[in-house]
Chain A
Amino acid sequence: MSPSAAEGTIRPSAGLEQYFQQLQGRPTLRLLDLSPVSQANVSFLAGLGHRLYCEDFLSSLDDFFGGDDDFYQAQENPTRAQEFMNLTFRQLKGPFHGALVWDCLQYLSPTMLELTVTELHRLLEPESALLAFFHNDERAKTVPASFYRIQDYRTLNIQERGHRTPYQFFTNPFIERVFHDFSSVKMYLTRDHLREILIKR
Chain B
Amino acid sequence: MWNRRKEEETPRPASPLPTPVAPMEGMPVSTTPTGYQGARSTATIGENVLIAGQIFAKEDLVIDGQIDGTIELLENKLTIGKAARVKATIKAREVIIHGTVHGNVEASDKIDLRRDAHLVGDIRAARIAIEDGAIFKGSIDVTKVEVPKAAPRPTTSAAPAATPAPAATPAHPQQAMAAGAGENKR
Which residues of A pack against B, CB within 8 Å? Answer: 20, 24-29, 36-39, 42, 46-56, 59, 93
- The interface residues of chain B lying within 8 Å CB-to-CB of A26 are 184
- Kindly provide the distance from the CB of B132 to the nearest chain A CB, expressed in whole angstroms: 7
User: Are the C-beta atoms of A51 and B136 separated by less than 8 Å?
Assistant: no
* Given known A-B contacts A42-B142, A46-B128, A46-B140, A51 and B135 have beta carbons under 8 A apart: no
Given contacts A38-B130, A42-B128, A46-B128, contact A27 B183 (CB under 8 A): yes
Task: Report 20 cross-chain contacts, Cβ distance below 8 Å, ordered by A residue.
Answer: A24-B184, A26-B184, A28-B183, A37-B130, A37-B140, A39-B132, A42-B128, A42-B130, A42-B140, A46-B128, A46-B141, A48-B186, A50-B182, A51-B140, A51-B141, A53-B138, A53-B139, A56-B135, A56-B136, A56-B137
Interface residues of B (CB under 8 A from A): 113, 128-132, 134-142, 181-186
Q: Which of B134, B142, B184, B186 contacts A37 (CB 8 A)?
A: B134
Q: In terms of DSSP, what is the predominant structure of the interface of chain A?
A: loop
In the bound complex, how far is the Cα of B125 from the Cα of A6, in angstroms?
A: 30
Name the CB-closest residue of A to B134: A37
| A39 and B130 contact, CB distance less than 8 A | yes
Having A39-B131, A52-B139, one finds 6 other A-B pairs with CB under 8 Å, namely A28-B183, A46-B128, A46-B140, A47-B142, A54-B137, A55-B137
Question: What chain A residues lie within 8 Å of B184 (beta carbons)?
Answer: 24-29, 48-50
Q: How far is the CB of A71 from chain B (nearest CB, A)?
A: 20
* Chain A contacts for B132, CB-based, 8 A: 38-39
